[in-house]
Structure 1
Amino acid sequence: MSALPKSPLTISRPRLSARSAAKFVRLPAVEQMRLLHDQKYPKQTPQVFKQPYYAPPLNGIRDFLDRGLPGLVDARAKIQSLSIKSRRDHCNRVLTQFVESGHAHRGLKPTTMLRCYASMSDLELRLSPDLCAMDGKLQRVIYFNANASEQDPEAAKMTLEIAHWVLEQNGENVAPRQLEFIDLFSGKVFSINRRRQKTIKLLEENARLIESLWSAIEP
């Protein structure tokens, strides 16, 4: 008897990070569907191209801020062990961009990562920051653009606004100005002083759209 083919791993309920939700809102319809397909059937996409692609340098940034030079040495060693040269080069680029930026000398002290989730319609939204740290006496929630292209400013601001909404839903007393989106490619830092109501309204509309599309997405 031949073995039955394995069913694809399926995520039954739509869920997006704050960053992915902001990206979804900004994408054309065809690319929105591709993003949702990759979320619903994560094992069908090449894992090397998903968010973990930049996990080594992002982990390395946290280790460097926590332990200094020994953390940096360990991070570089882990990146050098990557088997794919293009990924190794990009990960080295990201770590170097951070180390050579002023953010490496701000005195940021990594703290426990905030794990926050909130629902909007049937969509689960996750905070998923790249770094939580103390900046002097001020807590920071930080996202990085690790791509080799400049960050879309509107997507960065929307990411921060959605992240702040998720924090608020979890009872976290974090002011909008405590969130940052650092573009390592251009050196720009995006922040917000308040959360625009139009962003949350747009997110609500897209949450309903995602809910209506989810069951129709095929493997």
Structure 2
Amino acid sequence: MATKEEDVKLLGFWASPFSRRVEIALKFKGVSYEYLEQDIFNKSALLLELNPVFKMVPVLVHKGKILAESLLILEYIDQTWKNNPILPQDPYEKAMARLWAKFVDEQVGPVCFKSVVKADKGIDVAIEEAQELITFLEKELSGKDFFGGKTIGFLDMVAGSMIPFCVARAWEGMGIDMIPEEKFPELNRWIKNLNDIEIVRECIPQREKQIEHMMKVAERIKLA
């Protein structure tokens, strides 16, 4: 059952995959919420008040309770609203979903993006290193419509917000097809399945706007 809008607030940023995955989860659960767009380069007093430790989005506020960090928020949403489970019910499958989510956020996202942007060892080596990581996810998807099985779940929300609609668009802006269909047929089929879901499409940033943003982020990384 959806909660009242005034009970749930989400502080996010339109281009953040971490914000987008939380929005997908809330929509998947049918939870009404108030979305508060933030400027992550000029952080608001509200964001700093609600998340003084990390000073980042997303931040979920539910009935006065404040929660940061997207993976924790996804689990909180799943445990609070029991309909349409996000995490697998089997303990082993649940642990594996968490493991792969950690892999996406700590390896695939930052390593692939930064290696291609900086390309210290050359662009061909950077692409090879990035695709080597992505190959693990290609194998994990074999024979499945989604990581979660027949419908989207925890890992689909995590990987789906990060890989096709964030990192891949950064590569695309540099003229690189990092996930060619002939090399990654399972991932490309999965991306098409994600695009067929209305609530996912509602949370995907506009392509050209996202590419422009990722190019600006890339420039900051190069200068770092």
Q: Fold-level match, TM-score > 0.5? A: no
TM-score by length of 1: 0.33
Query: Which of the pair has more CA radius of gyration?
Result: 1
Give the number of the structure whose residues are more often helix, by fraction: 2
Q: Which has the higher strand share?
A: 1
What's the TM-score once normalised by structure 2's chain length? 0.32
